[in-house]
Amino acid sequence: MAYAAGLAIGLVGLLPILFVAEATVSVGWTQIGSFLLRDRIGQLLTNTAALVVTCVMGCVVLGLAAAWLVERTDLPGRRIWAAVLVAPLAVPAFVNSYAWSSQWPRFEGLPAATVITVLSYYPFVYLPVAGALRGLNGSLEECALTLGRNRLRCFFDVVIPQLRVPLLGGALLVGLHILAEFGALQMIGYETFTTAILVQYQSTFNGTAATMLSGVLLLCCLLLLSGEVAVRGRARYSPIGSGASRPAAPARLGLGRWPAVSAVALLLVLAVGVPVVGIARWWSHGSGLSPELGAALLNTLRLSAMGALATVVAALPVAWLAVRRRGPLSTAIERCAYLTSSLPGVVVALALVTASVRLLPAAYQTSALVLAGYVILFLPRALVCLRSVFGQIGPELDEVARTLGASSVKRFSRLTFPLIAPGLTAGVAFVFLAASTELTATLLLAPTGTVTLATQFWSHSDSLDYAAAAPYAATMIVLAAPLTYLLLHQSRVVRGR
């Protein structure tokens, strides 16, 4: 039964890929060839690849350094830093870009794109690495020290290999986000495949150029995904052990203490301070709150809430299959979800528009379609949270509960649900966070007259009306802040204290 549900979800997730594939196939090889082998494509490829490389490197270095400083040294105030370092998750990348480009319009090109995206995405690496460092077994490093390695070599030879899985997972997430990023890059005029796709779609909707670019983007995503799998190897996301491992003693920073604190503070000033100050400045120029803000807020809450619920429910069978019935089919379904979600929102939205117009007109321009878009786009976020909790609950618990006379209802309510609750909460928070700032798919799929915080922000900032955009940006951040905290808290619970 779980298989049926999982398959259904997998198939829905396949829609955008089928959409792109069908359009590409109908174009014909010679046209594809002449389209792809052009300077412009080369330029887009270079831009996209360059940004992926610089941003991933930047995020890995920053995320790793921040995680190490907070979890494994005696950095002063590290408990506070640990929470605040996650704060950039509450600031959408396009708001970050708005803050930087509105205050320094000359800051552009690869350096600007790298700075903005690294500041927005480093938490994707920081969070899992920090969690892993917390659970590392210190005795491994102590052994290495007795075998003659100094502390630095110990770090590279013993600690880093154990961090392979979270580092790769975080890097993958960053890479996929860069490939799908639109708003932030559009604002500073940095052209990548996604921005080019959007320009084409705005001009031609289903045009061949647009779908071919999407095809190339899909291939890039596939490349990243297979790269991550290849480098990760057989290592699995590790379940929590029975608590036997001993954490290593924190490294002493000594004189390096205050430079380290300054560095972390600087990072936060750039990542959170700049957007907050920027928004405050522009808000003071503007005319204050408008009634549309209320409508936009209500819509955002409504759509994000429904989207979060729907996504988590959809993720349940897929996660269950992936953990309990590991096999080629369940892996395929999971991989499909990752692949589709790495497409830009506009491609997913267009596939849904086309599908609904052709197959199910009653669903067109209803909230249901927006939700379908959110589910497709954000399924992996929910999957990641659910997988880790499912991994901790072995089938033996269920079997023992049966021998204690518990019916399946009782088993679910008193055993399964409480145990997966932290994962469910994290999943709901994570998806809500993403849905409340989603832009391009919402633009296309929302019923006429429905505006969200993100779409209103965009229409104002696009016409350079920064002052009018400021309240929307501020509201998005205020909305996201408690969710980010919840996510942090749940990720700590999930990883076991």
Find out whether 98 and 473 touch, Cβ atoms under 8 Å. Answer: yes
Q: Does 431 bind other proteins (CB under 8 A)?
A: no
Q: How many residues bind other proteins (CB under 8 A)?
A: 74
Site for other proteins in 468-487 (CB under 8 A): none
270 binds other proteins (CB under 8 A): no
Q: Is 201 exposed, middle or buried (0-12, 13-18, 19+ CB in 10 A)?
A: buried
- Specify the residue, 14 or 445, whose C-beta has the smaller distance to other proteins: 445
Select 249 or 400, whichever has its Cβ closest to other proteins. Answer: 400
Please report the DSSP string for 137-170 in residue order. -HHHHHHHHHTT--HHHHIIIIIHHHTHHHHHHH
Give yes or no for a contact between 250 and 78, defined as CB atoms under 8 angstroms apart: no
For residue 135 the two structure tokens come to 């659970």
Distance CA(442)–CA(438), nearest Å, equals 7
Interactions with other proteins, residue window 16-45 (CB under 8 A): 38-40, 43
Residue 261 found at the interface with other proteins (CB under 8 A): no
Q: Is 305 in the site for other proteins (CB under 8 A)?
A: yes
CA gap 124, 89 in Å, rounded = 8
Residues in 444-463 at the binding interface with other proteins, rule: CB under 8 A? 444, 447-451, 459, 462-463
Least gap, CB of 198 to other proteins (angstroms): 8
**Where in 142-161 is the site for other proteins (CB under 8 A)?**
none
- Least separation in angstroms between CB 203 and other proteins: 5
The C-alpha atoms of residue 237 and residue 256 are separated, in whole angstroms, by 33
Alpha-carbon span 162 to 140, nearest angstrom: 10
Query: Would you count residue 361 as binding other proteins (CB under 8 A)?
Result: yes
Determine, following the binding rule CB under 8 A, whether residue 425 of this chain makes contact with other proteins. Answer: yes
Q: How far is the CB of 335 from other proteins (least distance, A)?
A: 26
Q: What is the DSSP string of 325-342?
A: S-SHHHHHHHHHHHHHHT
Q: Is 363 in the site for other proteins (CB under 8 A)?
A: no
How far apart are the C-alpha atoms of 291 and 313, rounded to whole Å?
34
Least distance (Å) between residue 123 CB and other proteins: 23
Please check whether residue 434 is in contact with residue 378, taking contact to mean a CB–CB distance below 8 angstroms.
yes
Q: Tell me which residue has tokens 């976020």.
A: 381
Q: What is the footprint of other proteins within residues 228-247 (CB under 8 A)?
A: 242-243
The residue among 62 and 315 lying less far from other proteins, judged by its C-beta, is 315
What part of residues 173-212 is at the interface with other proteins (CB under 8 A)? 186-187, 189, 191, 196, 199-207, 209
* Distance (Å, whole) CA 310 – CA 112: 36
Task: Sketch the per residue contact string, 119 through 138, with other proteins: x for CB under 8 A, - otherwise.
Answer: --------------------
Candidates 54-62, 109-117, 316-324, 395-403: pick the segment binding other proteins (CB under 8 A). Answer: 395-403
Does residue 308 bind other proteins (CB under 8 A)? Answer: yes
- Residue 251 bridge partners (DSSP): 73
